[in-house]
Amino acid sequence: MKHRSLLTLLALLLAPPVFADNGIISIESNHTVADTAMRLEKIVRNKGMTIFARVDHGKGAEKVGKGLRPTELLIFGNPKLGSVLMQCNQTVGIDLPQKALIWQDRTGKTWISYNDPVWLAKRHNLIGCGSVVSKIKSALHGFATEAAK
């Protein structure tokens, strides 16, 4: 029993900080924004998902003479799962495909933020899609956690 408690404590201490706010889950990364975005993109591709776009908001701001800490948006998805969600309620399509924002805060920390699928299910009243929502929630957490390591 002591061994299990010690392992649980160790896992909690080694896990990256995670917080949820207003339907957005954020996980602290141990890498730069560019490296984290690259790592996340590779993980998502290796899982067979489609990458629709990677947007560098920092470069966009720079082009119009504005300063912005490093910020990148990765847009990706799996039409097999997204289509099921839209069959439950098509309005969820406004929040699909999935998005992950990789950004640097004022203190220089890098974060991966994404929409909480449970929050989206509530927002769009996705009745009968609970198992798909759970699968997506688990997958997103796994992708972000792995990219942040």
pLDDT at 20: 57
The answer to whether position 7 is within a domain reads no
Q: What is the count of structural domains for the chain?
A: 1
The answer to whether position 102 is within a domain reads yes
Number of Cβ within 10 Å of residue 125's Cβ equals: 11
What distance in Å separates the CA atoms of residue 37 and residue 99, rounded to the nearest whole number? 12
pLDDT at 22: 83
Range of the domain at 144: 26-148
The answer to whether position 19 is within a domain reads no
Q: At what angle do helices 130-148 and 33-46 cross, to 10 degrees?
A: 130
The answer to whether position 120 is within a domain reads yes
The answer to whether position 127 is within a domain reads yes
What distance in Å separates the CA atoms of residue 35 and residue 27, rounded to the nearest whole number? 15
pLDDT at 1: 55
What distance in Å separates the CA atoms of residue 25 and residue 46, rounded to the nearest whole number? 22
pLDDT at 4: 56
Instruction: Please list the alpha-helical segments (H only) found in the chain.
Output: 2-14, 33-46, 57-63, 79-88, 117-123, 130-148
The answer to whether position 20 is within a domain reads no
The answer to whether position 12 is within a domain reads no
List the CATH number of the domain containing 107: 3.30.310.70
The answer to whether position 121 is within a domain reads yes
Mean pLDDT by 10 residues, the chain (149 residues): 50 51 93 98 97 96 95 96 96 97 98 97 95 96 98
pTM of the model: 0.85
